[in-house]
A = this chain, B = another copy of it.
């Protein structure tokens, strides 16, 4: 719904017509419970503003679908987000179409074609930087978009759902400080992701609050994956004055740190304390069970689904930027400094 490239909201149409937002939705959905006069007035405004009715709206008895799009389906937390989305869509009689764009341009084009063909009611992107042609095309098709764990900056009209990454990074580090650790290593996540930066800043804030100077040699760069956790921990343990505890910015990197410690004959937590971030099922199954910062992935998926469904019904989203609370879960991978 664009006029000269500007996006017109259903709320604006409703205001101009002097009716409620649900009434405009009813007109758009071809429902019969609207008076002929109201319908006419709304239809006129929609046409005046160049509103292009989506093919899906014209098709009676069509399938209700929400698309859930990952960059790649290779992350163990994908299934947690899928669970959260599916719980909500299932209850609403809506199907969840799961796909991956595989970071390839050709693949993205194909995906957009498929999306158009199935006339999806909304799209939930995961860890995506929604700029460029995909976003423009979705806007042109008037398909609502929600982003979970946004990669880059905010985009107007696109609600985002994340976790309190800064608070999580701070509580992980505070926990280690409270156990007596002062040399605390950080294996950070990808630089381009906002969540990585927030966790790093939380780590710095906790050290500052404890009066511990940040030693930049104790901060190493990872990419959330296992191998980088192994490499990062190895680098830290090779320092002349190695850390006694490590905060890994993802659970999979924390497990990489476990393996680096094991290869050196060090035991977790006796010789090295480790904290992760995510609280994937894997963190409960690791040996020892991992102390980590719980990111409410299922709840994040559920909220994303509810938001997308509300947008599809033409409702306004009052809080377009939401961060759900993280929580420290203490298990067996952290111990008091000997």
**Using a CB–CB distance below 8 Å, which chain A residues touch chain B?**
55, 59, 61, 63-65, 67, 73-76, 78-79, 82-83, 86, 90-91, 93-100, 107, 110-111, 113-114, 117-119, 226, 252, 255-256, 258-259, 261-262, 281-282, 284-289
Contact partner, A96, options B76, B99, B107, B288, Cβ 8 Å: B99
Q: Are B255 and A117 in contact (CB under 8 A)?
A: no
Q: With CB as the reference atom, state the residue of chain B lying closest to A85.
A: B98
Residue on B nearest A284 in the bound complex, by CB: B226
| Distance to closest chain B CB from A248 (angstroms) | 12
Binding site of A, secondary structure by majority: helix, strand, loop or mixed? helix
Copy total for this chain: 2
Contact status of A82 and B107, CB under 8 A, knowing A61-B117, A285-B282: no
Q: Is the CB of B59 within 8 A of A86?
A: no
- Determine the distance from Cα of A288 to Cα of B59 in the docked complex, in whole angstroms: 56
Q: Do the beta carbons of B79 and A78 come within 8 Å of each other?
A: yes
- Cβ 8 A contact of A59, one of B59, B226, B284: B59
Q: How far is the CA of A94 from the CA of B63 in the complex (A)?
A: 14
A255 cross-chain contacts in B, Cβ below 8 A: 285-287
Q: Which residues of B contact A259 (CB under 8 A)?
A: 285, 287-289
Given contacts A63-B119, A73-B83, A76-B281, contact A113 B98 (CB under 8 A): no
Decide: A94 and B114 in contact? CB cutoff 8 A: yes
